[in-house]
Amino acid sequence: MKKREGLAVKKINETVSAPTSFMVFNINQTLNGAAMSMLYAGVFPEKVDTLVCLDLARAEVTRPETVGLRLRKTVGKLLKYEAAIVAGPEKPFTYEVAIEKSISGSFGSLNRNACELLFKRGLKQVDGGYVFRRDRRLMAAPLTLTPKEDQLAMAREVTANVLIIKFAQGPDFESRDNFMEHVENLKTKAKNVCFVEVDGTHHVHLTNPNRVASIISDFFNAPSSNPHTSVQS
């Protein structure tokens, strides 16, 4: 979990929130959004009314047997990307190459339409072609890690209405038992916990939004008086 991401959410909250509760929605194509939002909802439960997480329920947990190797690889990648940034801007490429890079980088999870949607904010036209707007250092795994026990403790503090939509063909960073353990711990104080599994890859909300749109809409429109509901489809 990157500290600056949690700080960013806190700053947004302090800037735009009214006296009423602040809603945090995670409708995002990346894993970090769900992890960051879940952490925020546990640290500042009074600030969050409704939390929607797509394909992830928390940050990747620490594994003692591999943490040293992971940190070693991450440091190497960060130094590599920082050296490239210092050396100068990325070499521009064509729009079609940007499409190919995005689809291959997502292991086929994205399609052309999804790429074009992401490019509205994520791609910038420069002399000679296009470049991505993202910070290249984000391609490295975060150096800060959060143990499972700590995340479970924070999950037990969440008081929001929580919807977690897991994509059946999405990435699995931990066992299903561990994933569902986090879901169960959310039920300690959360007003409502709803878990739904849908068919699709990690970007199905972009490639087939109809599969998740009605689930999210129904969740927002349904009364929260039926707590701790677990739904599978």
Question: Do residues 199 and 211 touch, judged by C-beta distance below 8 A?
Answer: yes
What's the chain's average pLDDT?
Answer: 83
pLDDT digits (tens, 9 = 90+) for 21-71: 444 443 333 467 888 889 889 999 988 889 999 998 888 887 788 888 888
pLDDT at 31: 61
From residue 70, alpha-carbon distances to 3, 112, 137, 145 in Å are 18, 32, 16, 10
Mean pLDDT lowest for which of 9-13, 61-65, 72-76?
9-13
List pLDDT tens digits, range 127-143. 999 999 988 888 877 77
Cα-flanking dihedrals φ and ψ of residue 93, to 5°? -135, 170
Residue 5 CA neighbour count, 13 Å, CB half: 17
In this prediction, residue 8 carries a pLDDT of 55
Please state, in angstroms and rounded to a whole number, the distance separating the CA atoms of residues 47 and 21.
5
- What is the secondary structure of 133-145 as a DSSP string? -S-GGGGSPPS--
Cα radius of gyration (the chain): 19
Task: Give the predicted TM-score (pTM) of the model.
Answer: 0.80
If you count them, how many residues does the chain have?
Answer: 233
CA distances from 221 to 161, 175, 208, 215 (A): 12, 32, 21, 10
φ/ψ of 192, rounded to 5, equals -155, 135
State how beta strands 22-25 and 129-132 pair: unpaired
Both structure tokens of 201:
């890859």
The pLDDT confidence band at residue 9, using thresholds 50, 70 and 90, is: low
Query: How is residue 142 written in tokens?
Result: 């975060």
Contact 24, 40 (CB under 8 A): yes
Q: Which CATH architecture has domain 3-62+145-221?
A: 3-Layer(aba) Sandwich (3.40)
Q: Write out pLDDT tens, residues 170-208.
A: 988 888 999 999 999 999 999 999 999 999 999 999 999
Question: Where in the chain are the domains?
Answer: 3-62+145-221, 67-139
Cβ(34)–Cβ(56) under 8 Å? yes
* CA 43 centroid distance within chain: 17
pLDDT of the residue at 161: 92
